[in-house]
Amino acid sequence: MKKKALPLIIVLLTAAGLTWYFLTGRDASQYIAGEAQANVVPVIAEVGGVITDMDAELGQRVKAGNILLRIDDTNQQYAIEQLKISLAAAELNADTGSSSANSSVSSAYAAYNSAKAAAENARANYESAKALYAVGAIAKSELDAAELAFTQAQNAVSAAAAAVSGANAGYTSASSQLNAELLRSQLDQAEKMLEKYTLTAPCSGVVITQCYTKGHIVAPGYTVVEIADDSGMQLLAYVPEDLVPSIDYGSVLPVEYNGATYKGTVCYIDVGTTYVPRDLQTPANKAKSSFKVKLSLDSDCPIKAGEKAKIYFERP
C-alpha cells in the first residue's frame, strides 16, 4: 500500500499543477513576491522658525488641506507691515512729486519762451539802431546801448534754456512710480511667503512620521511630517535580471492578492542590481541578480501595507 501511495500523490500534485496552469495561464513557480508599501508623501518646511502649533499626531488621519502645523511668523508680519508703510510713502511721493515737477517744468518753459521773445525784440532794435547810426540819425552811445540790450537778451535765453534742462532733470515722478512698483512686488512676495508659515496636508492619508513637536526649531528644507497617501499602494518587488527586459515604465502586470487579480503599473526601476530579502525570495528570483522595482496599484485593490502579493511576468 505504501509503495502504491507515492505514485498516486505525484499524479495528484502534477494534476493540480496542470490545472492551475490551464486555469490561470501562469506558471505557479514563476512569480515575483511583492510587498505592499504606502505611497509616503513628505511635508517639507520651506521657511524656518519655531513651531508654535502642532496639530498633526502620529496615526492621525488627515484630509488634503488640513492644517498640520504653524511656524512663528512674527518677523514676517513685521516685514510686511514695514513694506506697506514704505509703499504708502512712495505712492505719496509719486503723487506730490508729479505735481511739483510739472509746475517747475512749465514755469521754466514759460520763462524760456519769454526770454526768446525779448531777445528777438532786442535783436530788431539793435539792427534798427545800426541803420540809424549809419545815416547819422543817432549817437554812438545809443547804438552801444542797443547792442548791450541785445547781448543781455541772448544771455537771458541761455539762462532760461539751462533752467528748462534743470527742471527736466529734477522731474522725480517717474522714479517715484518705479520705486512704488518695486515695493508692491516685494510686498506681494512677502505676503506669499507668509502663507508658507502654515503647513497643510498635501493629500488625504495617515500621519506615519512626526519629526518635530511644538516648540522645536525647524530649518527650511527639512521634512516635518510624512503622510501615507490614501490614493493607492505600491508593491515593492525584486525582479531577476533576465525578466527586466520584459518590463518598462508604464508596463501593466497582473497582481494576485487573496485569490483575485488586479493591475499593477511599473512606476520605478532601479538602475543597479541588489540583494533580494529572504521574505521576498521566490523560485523566480532566488540566488539571482535582481533589480528593485515598484508597481502602483489601482485603488480597488484592498491590500494593506506590509501584506504580500504575487506579480506575474511574461518572459522575454
Q: What is the pLDDT of residues 166-183, one digit of tens each?
A: 556 555 555 667 777 888
Burial class, 104, CB count within 10 angstroms (exposed 0-12 / middle 13-18 / buried 19+): middle
Provide, rounded to the nearest whole percent, the portion of the chain with pLDDT above 70. 78
- Residue stretches of the chain with pLDDT short of 70: 1-30, 93-108, 159-160, 162-176, 287, 314-316
What does the buried/exposed string (b/e) look like for 11-36 if buried means 16 or more CB atoms within 10 Å of the residue's CB? eeeeeeeeeeeeeeebeeebbbbbbb
- What letter does residue 280 receive in the DSSP assignment? G
pLDDT value of position 200? 95
In angstroms and rounded to an integer, the radius of gyration of the C-alpha atoms of the chain is: 44
